[in-house]
Amino acid sequence: MSAPTTTTNTTPGAAPVTQTILAQTRAELTMALRRGESLLVTIVIPTGLLIVFMGLPIVPGGSGAKIAFLLPGILAAAIMSTSLVSLGIATAYDRYYGSLKRLGSTPLPRWGLIAAKIVTVLAIEAAQTLLLLLIAIIFFGWRPAGSPLLALLVMLLGTAAFAGLGMLMAGNLRAEATLAGANGLFLLFVIIGGIVLPLDHWPGIIQLPAQVLPAAALSDALRSALSPAGINGGSLLLLLAWAVVLLVTAALTFKWE
């Protein structure tokens, strides 16, 4: 099998680190576009979740209240599906097939690889977000509220946190374990992370640990940022803490092979 992420033509010391990272970013974007089926699934799943759950009597209130609750949660799910599942699994198999071993002999540092992959994830998330917002506006009458800039900040922190988690798994676990673990965590986060079901619907024994999960921090911070009430500072700080811890740990422990 050809090495999907080795289009960076550099040798040790041949180029500054920044140039190497930019070259790797271009390579990652190219490879992401070539994985058409995976890209389609990544975009379609959050869209399907929004449409399906809007038709279910999970969230009380009229359609306005339902879309105000569900849209931020589905945006959070989109971030998780791209940053954790898609990124983590693709990187794990790149490592398994030896593609990353060749990158380890170039000036590209571990944190540079993570940065290049996060930029690629952000590009995909931009398409996801635009599609979800258009569907919410056209079909469900959603109108922007709150602070779009704060919402963007929350999404960036959420991307950093879940990309860090995905890269942490991919850089330390076998590809099969990353595949199972990433999908399992995604399902867990969707169920008890305040994505499609309010946390107060769960008994206290589940509520308490669920509140400190990065998924709950992301969905709550994003939901509050898109509401007139304003951002929930506690959730934002918790998400920031998760982003820092997971990214730093991933950068320090990532193994090329």
- Listed by start position, the domains of the chain span 17-253
Transcribe 39-90 into DSSP letters: HHHHHHHHHHHHHHHHTSTTS-S-HHHHHHHHHHHHHHHHHHIIIIIIHHHH
Single-letter amino acid code for the residue at 159: T
Interval 108-132: pLDDT, tens: 888 888 888 899 999 999 999 999 9
Interval 55-106: pLDDT, tens: 888 776 677 889 999 999 999 999 999 999 999 999 999 899 888 888 777 7
Q: pTM, whole model, 2 decimals? A: 0.87
